[in-house]
Amino acid sequence: MHITSVPFMTTDWSSVPEVSHSGETGTAYWRTIEIGNIRVRIVRYSPGYHADHWCKRGHVVFCLEGELETELEDGSVHRLTPGMSYQVANDAAPHRSRTTPGAMLFIVD
């Protein structure tokens, strides 16, 4: 990741509006800032969330709360719990998220 045109800044996430995105089941709630060439998000998944699409975008994903399963298009499943992360490049491994108990993530892409 090559970050450009991003000045030093702090973010009070409680002041960033939350936008809902429906999944195949459940809902994802995003708080998003886009600055320069990056997008930074706090994403909260409701219990029972299952994504309705395969994502090919690169991310750095850090699990803050709950439990997240990330399924890759090759069929493998990877579990994140608080304090764990995954990293993937654009177009490297199409993936989709699901969670039974719900999860909260910090994501940079």
**How do residues 69-109 score in pLDDT, each as one tens digit?**
999 999 999 999 999 999 999 999 999 999 999 999 999 99
Across the strands, what pairs with 16?
none
Question: Using the 8-state DSSP alphabet, how is residue 94 labeled?
Answer: -
- pTM of the shown model: 0.93
What domains appear along the chain, each with residue ranges and CATH number? 18-108 (2.60.120.10)
- Taking the alpha carbons at both ends of the chain, their separation in whole angstroms is 8
Contact 37, 26 (CB under 8 A): no
Query: How are the residues of the chain apportioned to helix, strand and coil, as percentages rounded to the nearest 5?
Result: 5, 50, 45
pLDDT, mean of residues 66-71: 98
25 pLDDT band, cuts 50/70/90, is very high
Over residues 24-43, the mean pLDDT reads 97
pLDDT score recorded for residue 2: 83
Sequential DSSP letters for 13-65: GGGSPEEEEE-SBSEEEEEEEEETTEEEEEEEEPTT-B-SS-B-S-EEEEEEE
